[in-house]
Amino acid sequence: MKQKNKKILILSCIILIFFIALSISSSANPPPDSGCDPADPTCPIDGGVSVLVAIGIGLGYKKSIKKK
């Protein structure tokens, strides 16, 4: 019975955090226009690419540790 209550509590916390984050992001001011044309090669890369690179590095590190 305690295991079931723990799962319900964790799921409730995750849902609560999701809705809080959703309400915060929806009430935020829109970001200012950077004035950068995406076709321009000097335009900075969005942070999403950085996150994907970090995930790739993490997965590569994890696989290299498993092989040892």
Is-contact 18 24, C-beta < 8 A? no
Mean pLDDT of 1-12: 81
pTM value is: 0.36
Q: Which residues of 17-35 are buried (b: 16+ CB within 10 A; e: fewer)?
A: eeeeeeeeeeeeeeeeeee
Q: How far apart are CA 56 and CA 62, in angstroms?
A: 10
In this prediction, residue 1 carries a pLDDT of: 58
- List pLDDT tens digits, range 13-65: 888 888 887 776 665 566 666 667 767 766 666 667 778 888 899 988 888 88
Q: State the number of CA atoms in the 13 A half-sphere of 27 facing the CB.
A: 6
